[in-house]
């Protein structure tokens, strides 16, 4: 998949990831971009998140995004802040830009200083192989992801939107260990993009939950450089949401150790906020996630999760279905357990819930909880 017009990328293996895979990458726009950003709500947010938030408040355009994977540069104190600033300076020097035009993003293990000699040496090799292949970027930002994540849409005027994301552990509604970057050659006013971006993030990336943890580093950002001309704002925003939704589902499906995607659709909620919260709470239940792994239609765990979701519901009318089969409607319904279990042996398991408390809807995505999750996370640093 090619990046939109006017964007180029490059990646190198700087030696940050022990695997020797590409771990330092940049996307540069030929011209300044309008952009929008959303960062983790963690009180221990990493230096890159804090710096991008400052840039965002400054309202000035950006030209480039530099990402390293394999080291989150989080909980690294003042040295970490200095190293993060150095990332932007190295990128600026390499590409002849201002440091203020550059965003930074780091992902990986927390609490280790960035190996700045390797990073610096990596920058020296970065500019020699410019490319438009979005896959290069998608692969370089991976950590425990099992596959690169890319999505695209083309607008009626020919402008393109290309997004790339990474997961996959420590993912939770409040912008967890997740990157999602979207690039477009459409021309869209920065105000329009920024007004819509938080809502789109709430309905897409923040509706993904893998393990209830919230990362110090995660962020979503959209960059538009206008190289393919003006687009209809409504069409653009709808396509942007589709790209981000597709990426969100990819992240959930590739949760650490996951064997299937868990989708929770809530309707009949008193508000969209409550619908999303209920859907996320159910999708994040460790007990339900374990049951989904075991193809066990244990809908009681849906009720238990809803009970702590802080969302209005009418228990006497509440409806739950699994893979389209009604299992609860104010009381347990009879159903063919082996048949429903068989239906759950699918790539995607869908729970539909009607709270019977209003008319708002929301959807969230997670994955099953497996022995693989435990193995991956028991062995991450040692």
Q: What residue numbers does the annotated binding site for substrate cover?
A: 143, 166, 177, 256, 377, 382
Question: Considering the rule CB under 8 A, would residue 106 count as an interface residue with a copy of itself?
Answer: no
Q: Helix 300-307 vs helix 286-293: angle between axes, to the nearest 10 degrees?
A: 160
Tell the smallest beta-carbon distance from residue 116 to a copy of itself (Å). 15
Residue of 1, 13, 82, 109 interacting with a copy of itself (CB under 8 A): 109
Peptide bond into 168 cis (omega under 30): yes
Instruction: Give the number of residues in contact with a copy of itself, rule: CB under 8 A.
Output: 74
State yes or no: is 94 an active-site residue. no
Subset of residues 184 to 203 that bind a copy of itself, contact rule: CB under 8 A: none
Question: Considering the rule CB under 8 A, would residue 15 count as an interface residue with a copy of itself?
Answer: no
Catalytic option among 9, 76, 177, 214: 177
Binding track over 280-299 against a copy of itself, x by CB under 8 A: ----xxxx--xx-xxxxxxx
Tell the smallest beta-carbon distance from residue 303 to a copy of itself (Å). 4
Q: Which is nearer to a copy of itself, 41 or 125 (CB)?
A: 41
Phi then psi for residue 106, to 5 deg, are -125, 140
- Name every residue whose Cβ is closer than 8 Å to that of residue 306 and which is 6 or more positions away in sequence: 278, 281, 282, 313, 318, 353, 355
Distance of CA 367 to the CA centre of its chain: 14
Subset of residues 228 to 267 that bind a copy of itself, contact rule: CB under 8 A: none
CA angle 80, 83, 85 (to 5 degrees): 110
Residue of 33, 309, 322, 360 interacting with a copy of itself (CB under 8 A): 309
- Side-chain-side CA neighbours of 42 within 13 Å: the count stands at 27
Question: Considering the rule CB under 8 A, would residue 334 count as an interface residue with a copy of itself?
Answer: no
Measured from the Cβ of residue 97, the count of other Cβ atoms closer than 10 Å reads 18
**Residues 145, 166 contacting (CB under 8 angstroms):** yes
Q: Which is nearer to a copy of itself, 169 or 268 (CB)?
A: 169
List active site positions: 177
């Amino acid at each position: 998949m090619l990046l939109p017009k006017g964007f180029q990328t490059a990646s190198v293996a700087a030696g940050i990831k022990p695997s020797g895979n590409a771990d330092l990458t940049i996307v540069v726009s030929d011209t300044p971009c309008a952009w929008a950003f959303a960062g983790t709500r963690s009180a221990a947010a990493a230096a890159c998140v804090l710096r991008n938030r400052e840039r965002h408040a400054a309202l000035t355009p950006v030209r480039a995004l530099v990402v390293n994977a394999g080291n989150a540069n989080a909980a690294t104190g003042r040295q970490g802040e200095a190293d993060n600033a150095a990332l932007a300076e190295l990128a600026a020097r390499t590409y002849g830009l201002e440091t203020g035009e550059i965003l930074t993003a780091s992902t990986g293990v927390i609490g280790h200083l960035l190996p700045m000699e390797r990073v610096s040496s990596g920058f020296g090799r970065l500019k020699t192989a410019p490319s438009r292949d979005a896959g290069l970027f998608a692969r370089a930002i991976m950590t425990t992801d099992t596959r690169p994540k890319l999505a695209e849409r083309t607008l009626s005027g020919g402008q393109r939107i290309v997004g790339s994301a990474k997961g996959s552990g420590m993912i939770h509604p409040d912008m967890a260990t997740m990157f999602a970057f979207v690039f477009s050659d459409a021309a869209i006013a920065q105000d329009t993009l920024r007004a819509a971006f938080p809502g789109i993030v709430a309905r897409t990336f923040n509706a993904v939950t893998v393990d209830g943890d919230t990362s110090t580093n995660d962020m979503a950002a959209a960059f538009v450089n206008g190289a393919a001309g003006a687009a209809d704002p409504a069409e653009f925003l709808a396509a942007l949401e589709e790209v981000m939704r597709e990426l969100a589902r990819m992240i959930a499906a590739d949760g650490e150790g996951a064997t299937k995607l868990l989708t929770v659709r809530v309707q009949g909620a008193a508000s969209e906020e409550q619908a999303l919260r209920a859907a996320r709470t159910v999708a994040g239940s460790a007990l339900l996630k374990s049951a989904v792994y075991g193809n066990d239609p244990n809908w009681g765990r849906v009720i238990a999760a809803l009970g702590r979701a802080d969302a209005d519901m009418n228990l006497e009318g509440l409806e739950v279905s699994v893979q389209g089969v009604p299992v609860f409607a104010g009381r347990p319904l009879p159903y063919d357990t082996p048949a429903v279990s068989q239906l759950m042996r699918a790539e995607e398991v869908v729970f539909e819930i009607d709270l019977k408390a209003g008319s708002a809807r929301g959807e969230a995505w997670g994955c099953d909880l497996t022995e693989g999750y435990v193995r991956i996370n028991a062995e991450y640093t040692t």
